[in-house]
């Protein structure tokens, strides 16, 4: 489907906006590098998918919508948990499974939530129908809000995504479907897994945009454009953000068996989202090198303090295990088991 208009190609970024985007991207980057370190020390265990390299996607999307809008993503969720209002402290403590974590230490890397953020979701592609359900709620309540559903190039071949496109288009839902194409679905390159890698055209009857996902301003403008489209009642919009992850798929993937170290270095050197923004600000005299260094220092301190908290905060007590399963505390008998019976630790 063709659009009559396109996102702006000339845009204004104020100095304050630039400094804010820089700080948030740098915070996500440092947080993920600290998570990598804690994982290698076996302080973080289990699934852990890092977002470094893709920061411009999260920061650009948030700059194009409101915090009252809704967002749902897959399991590479640390960056979005932060941009949606979570703190570094809460995120790091969730990664280490501590009581002060954003999901009280029970969600871990893949399952974090904040207001209007419906989390990391572990099942590939399953968050997209849920996101459309949130868009239906926005439409039903008539509150002029919208829902953003994110998925990767690996999930883009899931049937449930096409079923969702169909319903969203039929009902003209205020939904933005965003494929974060980081070029590899686990260890499989897009060329080896998709007959067509034009993910932005997959909506067929839903208009789509292909966006440079390494440039925070490109992502911001495309998102604003898509948001205006949705809010004006024209129905859903599809976006493909072309981005790149520096780490492997998860911490159990060294990330160099299916791509070369040279490829990773080349992307870092030519299109790193933080470096691009930094160079743009310096060359336009919007900030000084010293100023950006000060931001780096304060970000590092914030991350160190959060890591300190995440390694000293106590783990949730055993009696917390069965809380928050049912919405109320009714004494339910489920197949002869009662989740409120006293739990004993046998070790």
Tens of pLDDT, residue by residue, the chain (347 residues): 678 888 988 999 999 999 999 999 999 999 999 999 999 999 999 999 999 999 999 999 999 999 999 999 999 999 999 999 999 999 999 999 999 999 999 999 999 999 999 999 999 999 999 999 999 999 999 999 999 999 999 999 999 999 999 999 999 999 999 999 999 999 999 999 999 999 999 999 999 999 999 999 999 999 999 999 999 999 999 999 999 999 999 999 999 999 999 999 999 999 999 999 999 999 999 999 999 999 999 999 999 999 999 999 999 998 888 787 777 766 655 555 565 566 666 66
DSSP 130-149: HHHHHHHHHHHHT-S--EEE
pLDDT at residue number 330? 61
Length of the chain as a residue count: 347
pLDDT at residue number 4? 84
Say if residues 113 and 127 touch (Cβ distance below 8 Å): no
Helix (H) or strand (E) holding 181: strand 175-181
Distance in angstroms (rounded) separating the CA atoms of residues 330 and 252: 41
Distance in angstroms (rounded) separating the CA atoms of residues 332 and 336: 9
Strand duo 175-181 + 237-242: pairing: parallel
Say if residues 343 and 319 touch (Cβ distance below 8 Å): yes
pLDDT at residue number 324? 78
Residue 159 Cα to chain centre, angstroms: 22
Question: Residue 26 has which token pair?
Answer: 């740098």
Say if residues 14 and 231 touch (Cβ distance below 8 Å): no
CA torsion sign for 121, 122, 128, 134 is negative
What's this model's pTM, rounded to 2 decimal places? 0.93
pLDDT at residue number 17? 97
Residue 237 β-bridge partners: 176
Q: Which residues touch 236 (CB under 8 Å, ≥6 apart)?
A: 135, 165, 168, 169, 172, 173, 174, 175, 176, 177, 203, 206, 230
Say if residues 54 and 244 touch (Cβ distance below 8 Å): yes
What does each C-alpha distance from 30 to 37, 79, 166, 255 come to in angstroms? 11, 11, 39, 19
pLDDT at residue number 334? 55
% of the chain residues with pLDDT over 90:
89
Distance in angstroms (rounded) separating the CA atoms of residues 8 and 278: 22
Cβ neighbours around 293 below 10 Å, total? 10
């Amino acid at each position: 489907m063709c659009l009559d208009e396109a996102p702006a190609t000339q845009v204004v970024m104020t100095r304050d906006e630039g400094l804010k985007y820089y700080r948030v991207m740098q915070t996500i980057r440092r947080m993920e590098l600290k998570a990598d370190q804690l994982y290698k020390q076996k302080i973080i265990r289990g699934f852990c998918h890092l977002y470094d390299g893709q920061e411009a996607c999260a920061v650009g999307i948030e700059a194009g919508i409101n915090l009252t809008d809704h967002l749902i993503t897959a399991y590479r969720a640390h960056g979005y948990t932060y941009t949606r209002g979570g703190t570094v402290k809460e995120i790091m403590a969730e990664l280490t499974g501590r009581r002060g974590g954003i999901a009280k230490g029970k969600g871990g890397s893949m399952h974090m939530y904040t207001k209007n953020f419906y989390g990391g979701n572990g099942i590939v592609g399953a968050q997209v129908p849920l996101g459309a359900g949130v868009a239906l709620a926005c439409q039903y309540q008539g509150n002029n809000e919208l829902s953003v559903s994110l998925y990767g190039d690996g999930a883009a071949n899931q049937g449930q995504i096409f079923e969702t496109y169909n319903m969203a288009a039929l009902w003209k839902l205020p939904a933005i479907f965003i494929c974060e194409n980081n070029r590899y679905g686990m260890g499989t390159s897009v060329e080896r897994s998709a007959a067509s890698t034009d993910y932005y055209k997959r909506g067929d009857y839903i208009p789509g945009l292909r966006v440079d996902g390494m440039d925070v301003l490109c992502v911001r403008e495309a998102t604003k454009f898509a948001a205006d489209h949705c809010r004006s009642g024209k129905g859903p919009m599809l976006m493909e953000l072309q981005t790149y992850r520096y780490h492997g798929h998860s911490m159990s993937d060294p990330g160099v068996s299916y791509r070369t170290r040279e490829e990773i270095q080349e992307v870092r050197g030519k299109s790193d989202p933080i470096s691009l923004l930094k160079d743009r600000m310096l060359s336009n005299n919007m900030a000084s090198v010293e100023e950006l260094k000060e931001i780096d220092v304060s970000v590092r301190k914030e991350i160190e303090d959060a890591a300190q908290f995440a390694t000293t905060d106590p783990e949730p007590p055993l009696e917390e295990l069965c809380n928050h399963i049912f919405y109320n505390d009714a004494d339910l008998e489920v197949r002869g088991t009662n989740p409120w019976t006293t739990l004993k630790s046998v070790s």
